[in-house]
Every structure is written in structure tokens, then in C-alpha cells.
A and B are shown apart, each in its own frame.
Chain A
């Protein structure tokens, strides 16, 4: 008799532990998913005040970033390889996200040219239109560009022309990462190069969802 009471007690306790575990897993606090590819800043960082010109020669200041998520890439339009390839990746990722269920908003894409000597707003306008919807371009003085690049950990340097006979044919070394600016205009996360469409498609919903809580 004592033995059967003991067995019953063990069964009841085991069942209680099982039910408790299930309840904890289903009703307990959930761990928010983390991005796999992007590096999220522990605390989003406000940007310094800046002023650039967009592809329509309109002033862009900090409030341009408000109420939207933006993927910012620093490059230049005479760049034959990594700049168009990166913009192509971002544009394809945006198009893929547009077809995903539950994506209530799409990120904007902004190319900031670090070659203001060659990239006028007119040139930027034709260039960004080539990459489809949601792509804008901007540039500005060295001083204004440096305010942003310093805050965002971006390096750029105009290199010597390959030939003194062709001074307009020069390359610009530049950081290849993509910066994520959140809908409060803050530096939120960064994607390191090399870039893939899948990395943006998988991580952007996680990054953007985090701020809906």
C-alpha cells in the first residue's frame, strides 16, 4: 500500500513537471530572434546634424530618415563593380521583401556618393533610377560627408588618377558595408561586405520588427 502511494506520488509529480514545462515554453517570455548577418548596435546612435543634396537637388537633413528604415551605402557612380553590385543586391532584397507576408513597410535605399566632384544631382538621378523603386541618391561637400562617415565608421579616399593625361579618371576607395538607419534617424545596425540578397531578406524583418514593440 505504501509502495503504491509512493508510485502515485512520483507519477503526479512527473506529470506536474511536464505540464509546468509546457506552460513555461508556451506562455513564458519569448526570446526575440536575433539577426544572423547584421551586427546590431547595443544602443542605436543618433546622427550628427548634416545637410546633403538629393538627386533632385533638394536639401536632405536628419529628418529625411524619420518614419522609414533606410539602407545606406557609400559609393560613387563611376565605380564599375562593387557599387552597382551592392545596389543591385539591395534592390533585389527590397523586391523580395515586398512579396513576403507580414512586411508592412519596406526599407528605402540611399546611395551617398563620396565623389561629389563627378556625381552631380543630375547624374545621381539617372543612376539611381537604373536600380528601381525605393532607391535615392545624395551627395554633399567633403565637410558634410565627413560628418556622416565619421559617425557611421565609413572610410573614403579619392585616389590619384591612373594617368596625368586623364585627371578625371580616378578611383575612390570606400568602405563597402551597408548601414541600417532606423525610423528615428539613428544608426541601428550594419551589414558587412560581401553582401547577399538572402542576408538582407532574412535579417531586415527582424531588425525592423524590433522597434514595433
Chain B
């Protein structure tokens, strides 16, 4: 009886592709860093985790506090750093993707309000599935490095 119930539950989970313990997509370690005074843009780093059984695709990041937000990647090839725009980022099933210094990053241009250190900055993450995540963090002034 117990065995049949367990199998039933497993089938249900498999059927709907959802995790029994929390959301499928989560964003952690979000840091939004103001540029040096007088310079632009601000930059954001974070880790996006996908606990689901299917890949998810991040298609846009936006913020009501910036006129323009773009995803980019610093690519280091033969010792030369170049920036490439990213139209989307795929996070395969049961994995995570890091946006970190020297790699993927979000660039935030033309702040619509003053950039005050410690002020709350909200970023909205839009996925191809239509799912949206809104995360808020205090504005930092230093890039997190090891």
C-alpha cells in the first residue's frame, strides 16, 4: 500500500516536472555595483539555479531604475579581453550559471534616480517560459573579487 502510494507520488512529480521542495528557478548572490564616480554603467552579478528537469532560458533583465539593461560576457581569448552581448542565457536542468567578474555580467545604463550606495535596487529577470523573478538588493560600491 505504502509502496503504491510512493510510486503514485513519483509519477505525479514526473508528470508535472515540479520539485517537491521549492521553486525551479532561483537567483542567489545578487550584487549590483555602482561604477566609479562619473562613469557608467553599473554592473550586476548573481548565480541562477535551475532545479527543474528541463532547461530554462533567461531572455531579459530589466529594472525600473535604469533606462537600459543588457547582458554581456567578457571573453578572454589569447590573453585579450573582449565584451560580447548575450541575447539569452540557457541554464540546463539541475545546474546553475554564474554571472561573475571577468565572465557573464549584467550592465545597467542611465540610472533614472541617483545611485546612492546602500539604496535598494530591483532587477526583474524574465525567462522564455514567461516566468518573472523580481529580486532586490542594496547597491554596492565594490566589485566582489577573491
Chain A positions within 8 Å of B, measured between CB atoms, are 77-78, 80-82, 84-85, 88-89, 92, 123, 126-127, 130-131, 155, 159, 162, 171, 173-177, 192-194, 196-198
Contact = CB atoms under 8 A, between A and B. Distances in A.
Contact of B80 (A78, A92, A176): A176
A84 B146 CA distance: 13
A171 to B, nearest CB: 5
A176 B82 CA distance: 10
A162 B36 CA distance: 23
Contacts of B76: 82, 176, 193-194
Nearest to A89: B145
Nearest to B104: A81
Interface residues of B, number: 28
A78 B107 CA distance: 11
A84 B141 CA distance: 11
B37 interface: yes
B145 A88 contact: yes
Given A88-B145, A177-B79, A81 B74 contact: yes
Nearest to B103: A81
29 contacts: A78-B40, A80-B42, A80-B43, A80-B72, A81-B43, A81-B72, A81-B74, A81-B101, A81-B102, A82-B74, A82-B76, A82-B101, A84-B36, A84-B43, A85-B102, A85-B145, A88-B145, A127-B36, A127-B38, A130-B36, A162-B85, A171-B83, A175-B79, A175-B80, A192-B79, A193-B81, A193-B102, A194-B102, A198-B146
Contacts of A177: 79
Contacts of B37: 126-127, 130
Contacts of B30: none
B39 A123 contact: yes
Contacts of B43: 80-81, 84
Given A89-B145, A176-B76, A197-B146, A78 B39 contact: yes
Contacts of A162: 85
A127 to B, nearest CB: 5
B79 A126 contact: no
A192 B72 CA distance: 22
B80 A155 contact: yes
